[in-house]
Homo-oligomer: A and B are copies of this chain.
C-alpha cells in the first residue's frame, strides 16, 4: 500500500517509521527544512530500548509535491491543526478519488476541512493514545509502550476499506481497531485537551501542579459540562462523570501537555481554536452558552499576543 504521511513531527514520524518497518511504501511530507535534511541523510531514527533504529523513506517539502508524483492509497495527516488545510492543498497532486485520508489530530471539526478534498466515504477519523517525542531533527523517542488507534470511516460505505487500514496499522504494531462511535472518542479526548492542555498552558503548570490545585475539580466540571452540552447537538452524548474521571486520572502525572510546550516553552501558536475555541464556535451555532470555553480561548490568544508567538 502506498502511504503518505503529512507532517513528520513526533507522531507522523513514529507512524511512518512503524509502517515502513512493516513493509509499506511510505513517503513523508514536512515543512521543516532541518528535519527534511536529517531524514534524507539518516532516515527516521527511533530510539527503542536504548537502541537507535533507522528507517529510510522519501521525504518531501509540500512544494516538491507535483503531478510527477504517484497518487497515494492512504494519506495520514499529522500536521498542526491550523496547517491542515494548507498542507492538503499542496498535496492535491497525490490525492485521487480513491485516496483515503486518515485524521488522528487532536481537536474538533477537522472532518469539515477534509471534506473539501475527498468524499465522506474516504474520510477516516480517529484518535490515538500513542505518544512520541521529537528529540532532534529526524530523531524520535517513543513516549509510551501501550498505545492504540481507534478509527472509523465517516460513511459506512467505506467501512470495509477502513478495516483493511486497521489491519495495516496493526500489522505495523500500532494496535488499531475499528470503532463504531469514533466521534465519541474524539470528543472525549478533546475534553482532556480542553481542560488540561488549555489550563496548563494558561497557568504555566504541568498536569500534576494544576491537578493538585483546589480549583482543578470545579474547573474541570465546568469545562466538561460545556463540551458535553455542545456535543449533544453534534450527535454525541458524552457520559459526563466518566469523562471527568478520565480527565482527572491525569492529575498525578508531572507531564507538560503539548499546548504548554507550544505556548510556554516554544512560543508557538496553540491549537486552542480547534479545542475550546471549536466548542465555543459550535456553541454559538447551536445557541448553547459556553462562557468558559470562550474565555479560555480569548485568554490563550491574549497570552499568544503577549508572548509574540507567530
Q: Which residues of A contact B (CB under 8 A)?
A: 199, 202-205, 209-210, 212-216, 218-219, 222, 289, 291-292, 294-296, 298-299, 301-303, 305-306
Contact A214 B305 (CB under 8 A): yes
Contact A295 B222 (CB under 8 A): yes
A-B contacts besides A199-B299, A203-B299, A292-B295, 6 pairs, CB < 8 Å: A209-B306, A214-B301, A215-B299, A215-B301, A215-B302, A295-B295
Contact B204 A306 (CB under 8 A): yes
Which of B204, B218, B289, B294 contacts A298 (CB under 8 A)?
B218
* Cα A222 to Cα B202 with chains together (Å): 19
Contact A302 B210 (CB under 8 A): yes
In the complex, chain B residues whose CB is within 8 Å of the CB of A199: 299, 302
In the complex, chain B residues whose CB is within 8 Å of the CB of A213: 301-302, 305-306
Contact A291 B302 (CB under 8 A): no
* Cα A218 to Cα B297 with chains together (Å): 12
Minimal Cβ-Cβ distance residue in B for A305 = B213
In the complex, chain B residues whose CB is within 8 Å of the CB of A291: 289, 291-292, 295
* Cα A299 to Cα B218 with chains together (Å): 11
List 23 A-B pairs, Cβ < 8 Å: A199-B299, A199-B302, A203-B303, A203-B306, A204-B306, A205-B302, A205-B306, A209-B306, A210-B302, A212-B305, A213-B306, A214-B302, A214-B305, A215-B298, A215-B299, A215-B301, A219-B295, A219-B299, A219-B302, A289-B291, A291-B292, A291-B295, A292-B295
In the complex, chain B residues whose CB is within 8 Å of the CB of A209: 306
Minimal Cβ-Cβ distance residue in B for A297 = B215
Which 9 pairs from chain A and chain B are nearest by CB?
A: A291-B291, A213-B305, A213-B302, A215-B302, A215-B298, A205-B306, A209-B306, A215-B301, A295-B295
In the complex, chain B residues whose CB is within 8 Å of the CB of A298: 215, 218-219
* Cα A204 to Cα B302 with chains together (Å): 11
CB distance from A45 to the nearest CB of B (A): 36
Residue in A205, A289, A292, A306 whose Cβ sees the most chain B Cβ within 10 Å: A306
In the complex, chain B residues whose CB is within 8 Å of the CB of A214: 301-302, 305
Minimal Cβ-Cβ distance residue in B for A291 = B291
CB distance from A44 to the nearest CB of B (A): 37
Minimal Cβ-Cβ distance residue in B for A214 = B305
* Cα A164 to Cα B299 with chains together (Å): 46
* Cα A299 to Cα B219 with chains together (Å): 8
Contact A202 B204 (CB under 8 A): no
In the complex, chain B residues whose CB is within 8 Å of the CB of A222: 294-295
* Cα A294 to Cα B298 with chains together (Å): 16
* Cα A205 to Cα B154 with chains together (Å): 44
In the complex, chain B residues whose CB is within 8 Å of the CB of A219: 295, 298-299, 302
Contact A210 B306 (CB under 8 A): yes
* Cα A204 to Cα B209 with chains together (Å): 18
Minimal Cβ-Cβ distance residue in B for A222 = B295
